Amino acid sequence: MNNIFKKYARKIIIYLFVFLFSAIAIAPLLWIISCSLKPPEEIYAYPPSLLPKNPTLDNFERLTKIKGGAGNMLIATLNSLVVAIPALIICLINSALGGYYLSRSKSRFKGWLLFFIFFVQLVPSIVLTIPLYIWFLGIGLIDNLIALIIIYQSILVPLSTAFMKDYFDSIPRELEESAMVDGCSRLWSLVKVTLPLAAPGIVSIAIFAFLHAWEEYLLALIIIFSPSKRTVPLQLGGFIEEYTIDWGGIMAAAVWALIPIIVVFLFLQKYFIAGLTAGAVKA
């Protein structure tokens, strides 16, 4: 009897904690979504209503209609995609080749290279802002989306290369060696044999790279000035600089920035988690 009671008490406590922490995790996001659907008079009303009484997409519509680029979410989304997709492709090529080298090479410098990558991963973006700003100002790429594609590689490549190295380590080298015995070149055997086996790792890296480019704020802030070249995070941050803060617009823009991430997260959760723990998994 006592044991059964104990078992149930434990279950109840666990559920209590699970519900409490889940509520803490999801409530702020639900609140953002709820506010994004409220018309202005309801957003600033006190007491606030939990759910929008007259749900409307006005806030979203306003975001797409702002003229001149500043605040226009459609242009920002386009800019973000223009940065994120090439950044993702460059990162994939580099990390596949680099990770493959680190996994298969017998060079005696390999240990040093791994140490170098580990250290380079931990360099914070804020430290890079000044030299990169001066540099890109010098070559005239400031306020240019191409600069962002290049700069993002500084964060993406070390993490993804280390991640792909671990992934290639788990793929037996006998497979590509037998392809090479059959007369395949090494690069061709990598493309034909090893890479298809590494597809889950590549998906993780692609998600990681895309999301990073989608949400990066600091480096974009120092490189981009023109309102028409803002990426999505810059557009969101730009709301705060306005004289009167349009909270309905901010909440709608926040939901806008959140949607692709939530979709990817819900459908590709396994790869998503692997990608986000990339680099942190192994020293």
- Residue 33 tokens, joined: 């979504």
170 near other proteins (CB under 8 A): no
Verify binding: residue 81, other proteins, rule CB under 8 A: no
The torsion angles phi and psi of 107, rounded to 5 degrees, stand at -60, 145
Cβ–Cβ under 8 Å, residues 69 and 226: yes
Closest separation between CB of residue 9 and other proteins, Å? 13
Residue 254 to residue 247: CA distance in whole angstroms: 10
Q: Which of residues 44-73 bind other proteins (CB under 8 A)?
A: 44, 46-48
What is the full DSSP assignment across 177-190?
Answer: HHHHHTT--HHHHI
Name residues contacting other proteins, limited to 125-164 (CB under 8 A): 125-135, 150-151, 153-154, 157-158, 161
Terminal-residue alpha carbon distance, the chain: 49
Nearer to other proteins, 82 or 276 (CB): 276
Interface with other proteins by CB under 8 A: which range of 27-35, 60-68, 140-148, 196-204? 27-35
Q: Please select the residue that binds other proteins; options are 149, 171, 222, 224, rule is CB under 8 A.
A: 222
Interaction between residue 104 and other proteins (CB under 8 A): yes
Closest to other proteins by CB, 2 vs 67, is 2
Cα 79 to Cα 225: distance, rounded to the nearest angstrom: 13
- Which tokens belong to 58? 């006005």
CA distances from 218 to 50, 74, 191 (A): 33, 21, 36
Nearer Cβ to other proteins (81/97): 97
Residue 98 near other proteins by CB under 8 A: yes
Q: Which stretch binds other proteins (CB under 8 A): 1-9, 55-63, 69-77, 243-251?
A: 243-251
Q: Using DSSP, state whether 85 is helix, strand or coil.
A: helix
Among 94, 142, 195, 203, interactor with other proteins by CB under 8 A: 94
Site for other proteins in 251-280 (CB under 8 A): 251, 254, 257-258, 261-262, 265-266, 269, 272-273, 276-277, 280
Helices (H) and strands (E) in the chain, counts: 15, 0
